[in-house]
Structure 1
């Protein structure tokens, strides 16, 4: 059986922005796959633990019997394993390097800072707010006047990496007491555009569902 003919299975958790990246990429590439929901609040399945024994996290993409871990690595793998499907990364080596850089920036900055917004109070929360504003403005500077971060390539690697967080932004706004439209209007406009893509719209949950989930996490961790 050729690698491209082997079944794809995604081990995921419904609200995970990292798993949603993979769902968006699979939709953009029109690749069929089996979705397996992991109930992470109840515990991790043996299948997940054996597929990702190092980090023990979702998402995990199973291609045949081979697991691929870490969301950005999975996106790059899909580009390479399915060369006939639409690519998320541009063909130019420098443009590819830049896309990887900015996706890595999103990976290292947005989720961690956003988590501190709802976990912390007082001065530490204010520091997280200032950092989030800086992150959004930095991303806005990279986006510039482009429709998508992929530029001439169109919707691409960075867009897929950042798009899931658009459903988390309203929660970040509530906890951080700021508005994305005010601090980074270019990103707010991008959120509107990206949300109209079928791949994104069908992969994300409504912001109020995300906010409710954060409430579950706050209760779980004893955060008032």
Structure 2
């Protein structure tokens, strides 16, 4: 009996993109169901009843939510090469730490910069420090996972692709090669990886979406 793998997500969502990258790296066939977040499908609400967000992941009838949890499930279920998480327990713990750093520290601060509502200069400085911390952790490696894409890189898709688009839409120049040469090179390597490129939404459309979102919120708040 063939395995049934389904992903309920949104093409412009970095969190949905993480799941697709992992599945493509592993060579797992899956069906992708595009969600309308303004009118969420009954299946999305069924498979992610707690958070009611994308992505929702379905494997042979078993539903899983939260992108980082899904990534670990994919790695353990299809434990063929390439591995997403390192084998060594310490290295695995470190990968989980930095992945959470991205989602719990970097992304919330990015959102503050994007909306520009909370002391913009102070928030920008905070984001700069967080990006510098990531820059230092990358060291001289091609990827956070070493020579191949790993857990932190996949979670870091939001830094590699969505952050530059959001910053450009907000008119903020921050993540430059001059300020973050290692991170900048990592971004180049990551977004041009054959598997990753297949999952990324068109850059111009993403920037237009964020600009429109900012404009609509600005207009409605007047």
TM score, norm. by length of structure 1: 0.90
Q: How many residues align?
A: 218
Deviation at 1:90, TM superposition (A): 0.9
1:111 and 1:138, CA in 2 relative to 1: closer, same or farther beyond 3 A? same
Aligned position for 1:169: 163
Deviation at 1:43, TM superposition (A): 1.4
Matched, 1:135 2:138: no
Matched, 1:197 2:193: yes
Deviation at 1:39, TM superposition (A): 1.1
Distance 1:133 1:214 in 2: 21
Q: Which 4+ residue blocks in structure 1 deviate beyond 4 angstroms? A: none
Is the contact between residue 190 and residue 196 of structure 2 (CA under 8 Å) also seen in structure 1? yes
Deviation at 1:220, TM superposition (A): 4.2
Gap runs ≥5 in structure 2: none
After superposition, give the CA deviation of every residue in 1:171-217 in whole Å (9 maximum; x if it has no partner): 34433332432321110010111122111111112332221111232
Is the contact between residue 133 and residue 183 of structure 1 (CA under 8 Å) also seen in structure 2? no
Aligned position for 1:36: 33
Distance 1:76 1:179 in 2: 29
Distance 2:66 2:196 in 1: 19
Mapping 1:148-163, distance limit 5 Å: 148-151=143-146, 154-163=148-157
CA RMSD of aligned residues (A): 1.8
Aligned position for 1:11: 8
Is the contact between residue 5 and residue 29 of structure 2 (CA under 8 Å) also seen in structure 1? yes
Distance 2:203 2:159 in 1: 10
Distance 1:85 1:45 in 2: 34
Is the contact between residue 17 and residue 200 of structure 2 (CA under 8 Å) also seen in structure 1? yes
Moved more, 160-169 or 25-34: 160-169
Gap runs ≥5 in structure 1: none
Distance 2:42 2:30 in 1: 20
Tell me, what secondary structure is at the counterpart of 1:54?
coil
